[in-house]
Structure 1
Amino acid sequence: MSAYGPGSRFGIIHDVFGIPAADKNINVSTHGQNISFEYILKQNPDYLFVVDRDATIGQDGNAKSVIENDLVKKTNAYKNGHIVYLDPGYWYLSGGGLESVPEMMKEIQKAIE
């Protein structure tokens, strides 16, 4: 499991869409910063955006069953229904493409309404 902040591979969420990072000290990286469920609980994000890499590469995607565990259920994101499962095709495979960016924008807009 990895976290991405401003300036990173999925930084568009913060840099363009204006969603504040739960941790302003996340390492900027293409591959993200390795994190644990304890880290998520400690940061207590208001929103948790999830890209299921396994589903993207044709494996059984089970992000929801993994993410929504007892620790994550204590966070503001879970309590307020703000765990957002993003379309991995848009975000992981074609992020930044002419067709994918408008769809990515729709997903974020829907999540924060």
Structure 2
Amino acid sequence: MLQREPDWLFVIDRSAAFGERANAAAVLQASAAITGSQAWQRKQVLHFDGREWYLAGGSPSAVERAIRQFSQALDAVELK
């Protein structure tokens, strides 16, 4: 059970960034707390590139791409 009900989930897969594995979606899907959240049910889960955030330190270009990705996701939600 989550202590708070998120509207959105932002996922940055550290393991994928370091080449250990790339299964953040599978790990999240295995959690009943996550899959029961409104964010998951509404498909408001954004997966960001872990390499950009962990290895490039959230460079300005990574931040710009994340903002663009979030903006596109918001546009898609507003259309529903």
Same fold (TM over 0.5): yes
1:52 aligns with 2:18: no
TM-score between the two structures when normalised by the length of structure 2: 0.77
**Per-residue Cα deviation, 1:65-109 (whole angstroms, up to 9, x for no partner):** 111222211111011001111111222222442432221221221
Q: Supply the RMSD in Å over aligned alpha carbons.
A: 1.6
TM-score between the two structures when normalised by the length of structure 1: 0.57
Larger fraction in helix: 2
4+ residue runs of structure 1 moved beyond 4 angstroms? none
**Per-residue Cα deviation, 1:30-62 (whole angstroms, up to 9, x for no partner):** xxxxxxxx3xx2211010101000000011121
Tell me if structure 2 keeps the 8 A contact 1:90–1:103. no
Please give the alpha-carbon distance, in whole angstroms, between the structure 1 residues aligned to 2:4 and 2:70. 20
Q: Give the structure, 1 or 2, with the largest relative contact order (CA under 8 Å, sep 6 or more).
A: 2
Unmatched segments (≥5 aa) in structure 1: 1-37
Please give the alpha-carbon distance, in whole angstroms, between the structure 2 residues aligned to 1:110 and 1:87. 16
Equivalence for 2:41: 79
Tell me if structure 2 keeps the 8 A contact 1:90–1:104. no
Amino acid at match of 1:111: A
Give aligned pairs, total: 74
Please give the alpha-carbon distance, in whole angstroms, between the structure 1 residues aligned to 2:44 and 2:50. 17
Amino acid at match of 1:89: R
Percent identical among aligned pairs is: 30
